[in-house]
Each structure stands twice: as structure tokens, then as C-alpha cells.
Structure 1
Amino acid sequence: MTNFIPIFPLSIIVFPGENLNLHIFEPRYKQLIAECFEQKKPFGIPAVVNKELKDLGTLVEVTAIKKVYEDGKMDITTRGVKVFRLLELIKEIPEKLYSGAIVTYPEDEDDGKRELMQKVVKGIKELHRLLEVSKDFKKPEEELKAFDVAHHMGLNIDEEYELLGLFREGQRQEYLKRHLGKVIPMLSEMENLKDKVKLNGHFRNLESFDFDL
């Protein structure tokens, strides 16, 4: 199915189900948000990676306009709905300040495995322990899926875009598991290094080497 949507390109990756707060200040996007909220229609956030407009993005809906300033700027909350693929960019729309796009929505297969997701969540907790950070998933662990935790594990924007382009939950789970398999050993080694540095210059109890073995 193809569809026309207004678009708001941003240098971020938005995942389906994600809640995103935005401060709207450009006239074209003030118009876009006001219309979408009034007409209860979604808009698209195509990903901009390394200053390049990418083919994939996320359809989002405006869930609330939290504040409207005297100059028309807005604080809004949005929620990711589903991934789209950009087919054609429509730069100019009659009587509109914003641009639009013809898009299609790739089918997504929910073939994830609960035991694999549990391993991913366990790995994220270990990652956070090593980083000494605390995160709230805002969902019971048994309900978590790959997109729910992706922003909690230090992926760069290229990796997040790769994840957005995986249309099977099982593939996304495997991707996150491999990422954790790379970064956790590195962080663990950094922890050991920190411990060694802390010991430098301090009195330590060490066993002497005995030549008469």
C-alpha cells in the first residue's frame, strides 16, 4: 500500500512504539503539527544520517501539544507507529510550507523468541551496571521487544538505522545480542583497567615468588 504523508526529516532514528518529545519552532513544522493534530493524521520522520536523507523512516502520531508559546512555538509529544519506505519526495505542496512524500509500509514479522529477548535484556542490565547508569524500560520485562530497548544500549545512528531496516523481530533480537556481545567484553576490560589504575601507588599485599619450587 502506498500513501502520501507530510514529512519532518530529523537527524534521529525513531522506533515504532517510542514516545518522543519535540520542540517545534520552524514555521513550516508549526503548520505541519497544527494540521496533523487538528485533523488527527500522522506524519513521517524520515531518518537523516550523516546529512543524507535516507529511504526509511517512522510514521508518528501527535499524542499531545503540551505547550504553545506566544510566538507559536510548541512543545509536543509524539509516538512512533510503523516504519515506512520513502518512494518519492514531494518538496513543494500547494499552500503548504512543509514537504511530503509518497511512501509504502514494509510488512513486519513478529517472529521473536522470548528466551532470546530475555538474554538481550539481561545483557542490557549488565551494560548499565558497567556504565553505572539506571534506565526505566517503562514496560514489564516480559512485554519488551527489540525496538523498546534499542535506545538503551549505546547504538550509534548508523546502527540504529540498520536496526530500523530489519523487518523481522527475530533478526532485531539477534542484532542487539551481537552488539552486546561486542561492547560488554570491551567495557569489562575497561573496568579491569580502572581497577589496576586505582591500585597504582597504593600499598598492596602480594605473594613473593619462591625459586625453590
Structure 2
Amino acid sequence: MTNFIPIFPLSIVVFPGEKVHLHIFEPRYKQLITECFEAKKSFGIPSVVNNRLQEMGTLVQVTEIVQTYENGEMDIKTEGLRIFRILEVIKQIPEKLYSGAIVNYPENDDYGNRELMQKVVMGVKQLHRLLNISKDFKKPEEQLKAYDVGHHAGLSLEEEYELLGLMKEIQRQEYIKRHLQKVLPMLLEMEQLKEKVKLNGHFRNLSAFDFDLGL
């Protein structure tokens, strides 16, 4: 399936199912949001990484205009729907301030491995404990998928974009698992270092080395 959508490029990655709050202030995007909301149409958020527009993005819908200010700026709520790939950017649209794109929608396999996902969730929880972060995913653990934890596993923007480009759930699970296997040992080492620093200068109850041992 190929179609035309208005686009709102941003330096973020939006995952399907994700709820994103945005503040709209540029005239072109105020026009885009107003038109999409009134017509109940979706628009695309293609990711901008390292100041370059990427080919992948997520189709989103405006679920609520929370507030409209006197100058026309808006606070809105959106929800990610599905991933698209840009085939062609249409920079100028007659009578529109915003740009658009011709896109298609890659097939996205949503079936992963439940045991693997449980390991991923356990790893994310351990990461949060080490960072003293409390996170409510607003879903039962057994319903969580890679997209639900994608922003909470310590991925960089570039890594989040790589995750967006994986069209099989099991690939996304593996990607996050490998990332956690890399960062968790480093964080544990840092945590041990912090404990050592805390002990420095304090009285410690240590047993003296017994020179007679083993003789």
C-alpha cells in the first residue's frame, strides 16, 4: 500500500502504540495539526537523526488538542499507529505551509518470543534499579512488547532508530537484549566503584590477614 501523508519531521523516534505529547508552535505545523484533527486524518513523524531526515517514521493520529493558546500554539496528544518508509518527499504542497511524503508501509511481524521478552523486561527493571528510576509501563508484564520498553532501555537516538527499522518482534527483542547485556555489566561495575568510594575514609570492621594460614 502506497499513499501520501503530511509529515512533521522531529529528532525523536515514535514507536507504534506510543503516546506522545507535543507542543506545536511553528505556523506550518499549527496548520498541519488543525487540518488533521478536524478531518480525523493521520500524519507522519519521520525521524531526524544527526540532522538528516531518515526514510523511516511512524504514522500518528492526534487524539486530543489539550490546549490552544492565544497565539495559536497548541499542546496536543498523539498516538503512534504504524511504521512507514518514505519513497519521495514532497516539499511544496499547493496552499499548504507543511511538506508531505509518498510512503509505503512495510509488513511488521508482531509475534515474538515470550520467554525472551521476559528476560528483556527483567533486564530493563535491573537497569532502572541501578539508575534509581521508577517506571510504570501501564501494562501487565506479560503484555509488554519491544516497542513498550524501547524508550526505557537506555538506547541512543541512533539505536532507537535502528530498532524502528526492525520489522520482526523477535529481532527487536534480541536487539534490546544484546544492548542490555552490554550496558548492565558496565553499570554494575560503576555501582561497585561507588560503593568502594563510599567506604573510603570510614572505619571498617575487617579481619586481619593471618600470616600463619596455610603454613
- Asked if TM exceeds 0.5, the reply is yes
Counterpart position of 2:10: 10
- The one-character-per-residue Cα deviations of 1:192-212 (angstroms, maximum 9, x if unpaired) are 000000000111122222222
Counterpart position of 1:111: 111
- The one-character-per-residue Cα deviations of 1:156-188 (angstroms, maximum 9, x if unpaired) are 000000000000000000011111111111111
- Structure 2 counterpart SS, 1:127: helix
Residues of 1 paired with 2:206 and 2:92: CA distance? 74
Counterpart position of 1:81: 81
Task: Give the CA RMSD over aligned residues.
Answer: 0.7
1:27 correspondence with 2:27:
yes
Residues of 2 paired with 1:198 and 1:33: CA distance? 52
Residues of 1 paired with 2:193 and 2:30: CA distance? 50
Counterpart position of 1:48: 48
- Structure 2 counterpart SS, 1:175: helix
Q: CA deviation at 1:30?
A: 0.3
1:127 correspondence with 2:131:
no
Correspondence list, 1:122-201, <5 A:
122-201=122-201
Residues of 2 paired with 1:204 and 1:195: CA distance? 13
Q: CA deviation at 1:110?
A: 1.9
- Structure 2 counterpart SS, 1:186: helix
Point out where structure 2 has 5 or more consecutive residues left out of the alignment. none
Counterpart of 2:106 in structure 1: which amino acid? P
Point out where structure 1 has 5 or more consecutive residues left out of the alignment. none
Residues of 2 paired with 1:20 and 1:132: CA distance? 24
- Structure 2 counterpart SS, 1:174: helix
Q: CA deviation at 1:111?
A: 2.5
Residues of 2 paired with 1:198 and 1:70: CA distance? 53
Residues of 2 paired with 1:190 and 1:115: CA distance? 29
The count of aligned residue pairs is 213
Point out 4+ residue stretches in structure 1 off by more than 6 angstroms: none
- The one-character-per-residue Cα deviations of 1:44-79 (angstroms, maximum 9, x if unpaired) are 000000100001000000000000111111100000
